[in-house]
Amino acid sequence: MWPLLLGLSGAASILQFFLLLLCPESPRYLYIKLGKVEEAKKSLKRLRGDCDPTKELAEMEKEKQEAASVKKVSIRQLFSSSSYRQPVIVALMVQISQQFSGINAIFYYSTNIFVRAGVDQPVYATLGVGVVNTVFTIISTTFAWMSYVSMVAIFLFVIFFEVGPGPIPWFIVAELFSQGPRPAAIAIAGFCNWTCNFIIGMCFQYIADLCGSYVFMIFAVLLLGFILFAHFKVPETKGKSFEEISTEFRRKKRSAIKGLKDATELENLQSNKEV
């Protein structure tokens, strides 16, 4: 029944297309690119509800003035400029963390995982993964009951993925860059995401054959590293202007440089004592 499966995917795409027609246009695009102030206000009210758009419009006006004086940044310039280095690293790491969390290993190979777990009807369990994934986006032993523990664990994994690393990497990149470097940054972030997606899709089965039921320990270790990176390096963007986010990056950069200097001075001091 694979033609039906593909047909259902097409139906979802068509539904998404028509729902997209009902979505408001980007207020930033209307204000900064097209200069349509009143339409930007209407779009903001549709997105935010009954609120005063004055603050956001003032922020957009400031960004518009900056964009007029700043040239578009190429992908090459994005990597060569020190002022964009930290945001680029964050943008790429959130994409890598999304894919190397193991989420697509579950989506692509969930039926095989459930078969190994001893689930009686793995196809229905796989459908359950898809249902859980949709809803939350708007290791097995010889004991029979452990198969259900495995299934519940995967459902929980998908739930927590969809309230964190699932959607956030797709929109946080736009919040880290101004109008000039934003297109290039989104391009390389998307390329990074799909490259990692391809690597996971092609390599997971081979790694699973080598590691057996311990394969997800690899993803657990990677996720711990990503959590630490997010805690120390990824700035909070909610309710902040681009200038405030840039200031946070500059503060982190100064702290890192100061820490490096202190470590170098301590090392030199210890060397002098030994001499």
pLDDT tens sequence across 164-205 = 777 788 888 888 887 778 888 889 999 999 999 899 888 888
Chain position carrying tokens 């680029």 = 88
Q: What is the pLDDT of residues 141-158, one digit of tens each?
A: 364 555 566 667 777 777
Which residues does 47 contact at the CB level (< 8 Å), separation at least 6? 24, 27
> 139 pLDDT band (50/70/90 cuts)?
very low
Which residues belong to CATH 1.20.1250.20 in the chain? 72-234
**236-261 confidence digits (pLDDT tens):** 887 777 777 777 777 766 666 665 56
CA–CA separation, 147 and 258 (whole Å):
52
* Domain 72-234: homologous superfamily in CATH: MFS general substrate transporter like domains (1.20.1250.20)
Looking at residue 191, its pLDDT comes to 92
pLDDT for the residue 171: 81
196 vs 236: CA distance, rounded Å: 25
35-81 per-position pLDDT tens digit: 888 888 888 888 887 777 888 888 888 878 777 776 777 888 888 87
